[in-house]
Structure 1
């Protein structure tokens, strides 16, 4: 029987929603249901500038880089033993094809039941009767769009899975899944809209099949049934390039979406996540992207996680606005926090990218950060800048992991006595902007973390040692304008 060795467990890919009969037919006709779709163009910026980059597809890259293979042979799916490093395509849309099934698409619940059965079947195919292999067996679930809801239904609905079933899942990675439903023109899709199963994305219906309370305002919780730290959400921020249905969903979803799923609805509560300027699907889609693949393999197989949070200490006002405040006028403002993370050597991808020009920057009000009483908060709502997964095995020289963080802080604008202040202040002015080069070197006590502010210094220097308090690494940041903050880094080593 196959040797089961962490973290290279079998991968099950669960495709997304196929709306029309034509889309279902296209899905069924594909052996890999989109997981083999590559790309040859990389869109770098919102203005449409394009350069060539060949991305072979997640499936091909997993085969080339990680030694995985499919489970097809002689024109059929293998029914006997399969390797542990297998990619299995969950073909839950086959039943909707009249040649292969009854012509009816499975409900989310039925698809989740089928996923449960597939995992059990795969365990038998990989392990046979080997007691040690059976004890070590797990799978990784990788899903696009509605496929992520099928995975969650399996993991969360007590009528479908047992704790033993859920324990067979090591990690879950979702691309552009509407974890909190789909909103169009500001409204959740109606539950009565059964045409083409669009009501699968209605929050009341979702609460039912996800096993959440019926009165849940949000349905992006795993309900305590699966560890959110083992659940990664890859979020697209490019709404412009989603061309499905002649662009109608893109127009209705609008900015701050991937063209179908709004950014605020695309992640699970408490789960790590990354953002990329990619659309829901298509030539610039999330699945057929280098950014998506790099996050996928680092999350599944990497051994280091770094989380960055910015704790803000001072948000200065421009002199003219400060004078108005000192004179007793009411001043209000909110702030954008932009963060882009990339490992050293990444010439054509980032691990996460949140920017104002793609409507994906983190936004916080002054009250949420520094005037907690007015915001009715007990603690500041400090911006979570990134969760990055890294792989020390990819370090080519020495043992130090190197990555960069581009960080910028700006304001949405100032209002004085409820009127936008434009008399002297320049719109879009930054309070802080710099690129940090971060180095993490393993030591007997954990890690030594050093940093350089490299907008005006070369990144090749040794850098300054970050302060360590026994739990977090701290980097003090400030600007001549008076901005002050502390970058809090948490490093967690995972076992291979």
Structure 2
């Protein structure tokens, strides 16, 4: 049996919401509650030939790639079976938290349970897993677990972690990392009626109402944004995968995606699918936990859980050895010559900008994160937000730079096994906005779809030969050195991280003067 060792701790999977009795019975009839579903994705090669991409499922891939196994044996769940003490559970186990068994008419009493009950049960499952894996007190001290939740499963995890009345602090301290797929961390929102009303109690749909969420998340009554971890868990150890494809969500014959709207995965709004944590800095009171955006719907065979993009983000976050945050530090964005002339004549000019960013791993046919205008997921900033010192009366100054992406790299999961370096690319675009001059849209010489800047930047992170020495970084602009990273970027150490600056300069009008800042940390 494998030894318990970081970062390959046991994984507990917490499934999402089952809306009615039939869905609950279908859920409990599946040993893996959907975590075993895969997909066959069709794509076209450069030759024109259509091939299939088989994604076996997260469960199967974790078993094949990282040596995990389930906890079923001869028709029994070994965590619940009466096994002799010497028969231990493998530390690299995947456990399905079957919280809907009690709600099922077939396996339970058919009665709905409160979220607090589900959270309490998760804590009890973690304790039971520790007992089965760690026979000695010394091993129990080093026990940790990863929690993975889909949709409402992420809220069950937060209820366990954040509610002081649920479980015990010493059990919560056993959680190493949390990963959520498409979780409505700030509730579910409809375009017409807003947040799910509190009187939607049938089948516990009020679990997505913010007032009810405040209650089971242990937040102060009246908290407006309920996606805060409130200091109960380190946001750097919490990852949110956000879906951006509403069209492929076919639940309720497509009515769900219609009433939720296009800025969603078909059920959860893009803006509601992440968590924040307090910083202690009054000027920047919160910071967003690591997240990635993928063009996937909320669930199904082509949904966010059963996707290569989801699996790659999951495993790189749980097992990766390098974290890279990409920020855009903008010094100046210039106006078109005719608009600039009007500004100099005293006309008020207003503009906003969309920043597109797609990150991908060298040699892969999938994206780690994808934020593009056509999928409603860009980083949006007004001019006054980018430059607070120049903010007008209509602008809301921000103190944060546009965070384009957070990527985790895993040297053990390199696509190209022949190279020690970790290669990835950043496709960066700054879109030309609609300019408003003296309160009127400026349409002269405006062509929709244009960009101020567009470039794919190839990056290669190179481990040094000597242990303890900082990694090196090469970069290259694809328009100049296609598919290559040739220039060395200087790494500046600070606060346990290396910061690299890559100049972004477009001198024509409109143009941009900025730095792509990469902040790399070991884990």
TM range (shorter): over 0.9
Maintained 8 Å contact 1:166/1:226: no
Residue 305 of structure 2 is matched in structure 1 by: 287
Matches within 5 A, 1:226-245: 226-245=233-252
Per the TM alignment, residue 156 of structure 1 is displaced from its structure 2 partner at its CA by 0.3
Residue 368 of structure 2 is matched in structure 1 by: 351
Residue 427 of structure 1 is matched in structure 2 by: 448
3-state SS of 1:95 partner? coil
Q: Separation in 2 of the partners of 1:468 and 1:3?
A: 37
1:303 aligns with 2:324: no
Match of 2:291 among 265, 270, 273: 273
Q: Separation in 1 of the partners of 2:21 and 2:74?
A: 28
1:394 aligns with 2:421: no
3-state SS of 2:306 partner? coil
Matches within 5 A, 1:316-395: 316-346=334-364, 348-372=365-389, 373-374=391-392, 380-395=399-414
Listed one character per residue, the Cα deviations across residues 350-369 of structure 1 (whole Å, up to 9, x for unaligned) are 11010011111111110000
Listed one character per residue, the Cα deviations across residues 155-185 of structure 1 (whole Å, up to 9, x for unaligned) are 0000013321111101000000000000001
Residue 83 of structure 1 is matched in structure 2 by: 90
Q: Separation in 2 of the partners of 1:121 and 1:431?
A: 56
Match of 2:163 among 146, 157, 162: 157
How does the TM-score come out when normalised to structure 1? 0.95
Per the TM alignment, residue 343 of structure 1 is displaced from its structure 2 partner at its CA by 1.2
3-state SS of 1:351 partner? strand
3-state SS of 2:259 partner? helix
Listed one character per residue, the Cα deviations across residues 237-268 of structure 1 (whole Å, up to 9, x for unaligned) are 00001011121110011111100101100001
| Structure 2 residues without counterparts, runs of 5 or longer | 45-49, 277-287
Maintained 8 Å contact 2:472/2:491: no
Per the TM alignment, residue 15 of structure 1 is displaced from its structure 2 partner at its CA by 0.2
Listed one character per residue, the Cα deviations across residues 418-448 of structure 1 (whole Å, up to 9, x for unaligned) are 2222121212210111011112223454122
Residue 47 of structure 1 is matched in structure 2 by: none
Per the TM alignment, residue 2 of structure 1 is displaced from its structure 2 partner at its CA by 6.1
Per the TM alignment, residue 476 of structure 1 is displaced from its structure 2 partner at its CA by 1.2
Residue 177 of structure 1 is matched in structure 2 by: 183
Aligned residues: CA RMSD = 1.9
Aligned length: 488
Maintained 8 Å contact 1:407/1:435: yes
| Structure 1 residues without counterparts, runs of 5 or longer | 45-49
Q: Separation in 1 of the partners of 2:121 and 2:413?
A: 37
1:355–1:89 CA distance, 2 compared to 1 (3 A): same
After superposing the two structures, state which structure 1 stretch, 136-145 or 396-405, moved more: 396-405
1:286–1:483 CA distance, 2 compared to 1 (3 A): same
Per the TM alignment, residue 458 of structure 1 is displaced from its structure 2 partner at its CA by 2.2
Residue 505 of structure 2 is matched in structure 1 by: 478
Maintained 8 Å contact 2:152/2:184: yes
1:102 aligns with 2:109: yes
1:43–1:287 CA distance, 2 compared to 1 (3 A): farther
Residue 36 of structure 1 is matched in structure 2 by: 36
1:376–1:331 CA distance, 2 compared to 1 (3 A): closer
Per the TM alignment, residue 461 of structure 1 is displaced from its structure 2 partner at its CA by 4.8
Q: Separation in 2 of the partners of 1:467 and 1:417?
A: 44
